[in-house]
Amino acid sequence: MRIILLENIEKLGKIGDIVEVADGYARNYLIPGKMALVATKENINLVKHKIELLEKKAKDELEKAKKLAKKLEETSITLTVKAGEGGKIFGAVTNLDIAEALRKKNVVIDKRDILLEEPIQYIGAYVVDVRLHKEVIGKVKVWVTGEYESGGTEKQQK
């Protein structure tokens, strides 16, 4: 039986491929599972149209990601944290902290898309990668500044 694949199926083909399979495999598994349609002229045209829409949507998402990457490169965020001697901060700056700082600048990024190898633990300037699309990685400048604690408490003598 000739069918059109609606999903990528390993060892069979990708979306839109017209393949020949056993009748039982098509009727009992692929078609009821909405993974394929019988290859009629109407179904072929329908699938072609759906593929064109998916390609247009993917292209639009890529363009949107590229624009956001450009906006991120122009964006700089500053995080002020408590720090001790030598620029070591108390705690760490994580991808969640960076996501919240970006949100305050009206740039909404999921914390899982901020690619920190490890949390930032020292004061300084960093360039952090942000995954915007499977093909687009943006970069944002992160400035970590310290709010220093005083050198302890002093006792007054009388």
Give pLDDT, residue 150.
Answer: 54
Checking if the pLDDT of 121 tops 50, the result is yes
Mean pLDDT of 97-123: 92
Looking at the chain, the whole-number percentage of residues with pLDDT higher than 70 is 94
Mean pLDDT of 146-151: 68
Question: For residues 108 and 100, what is the distance between their CA atoms, to the nearest angstrom?
Answer: 8
Displacement of CA 125 from its chain's centroid (Å): 23
Report field, pTM of the whole predicted structure over 0.75: no
Three-state SS annotation for 21-37: CCHHHHHHHHCCCCCEE
Structural domain spans, the chain: 2-63, 69-148
Give pLDDT, residue 86.
Answer: 82
When the candidates are 2.60.40.1930, 3.10.430.100, 3.40.50.1980, 3.30.450.20, the CATH number that belongs to 69-148 is 3.10.430.100
Q: How many CB atoms lie within 10 A of CB 36?
A: 28
pLDDT tens sequence across 41-58: 999 999 999 889 989 999
Superfamily of domain 2-63: Ribosomal protein L9, N-terminal domain (3.40.5.10)
Read off the pLDDT band of 32 (50, 70, 90).
very high
Tokens of residue 3, six digits:
């069918």
Residues 6+ apart with CB under 8 A from 128: 98, 114, 115, 116, 139, 140, 141, 142
Q: What are phi and psi of 3, to 5 degrees?
A: -130, 165
- For the chain, the average pLDDT equals 89
Looking at the chain, the whole-number percentage of residues with pLDDT higher than 90 is 78
Checking if the pLDDT of 99 tops 60, the result is yes
Question: For residues 62 and 48, what is the distance between their CA atoms, to the nearest angstrom?
Answer: 21
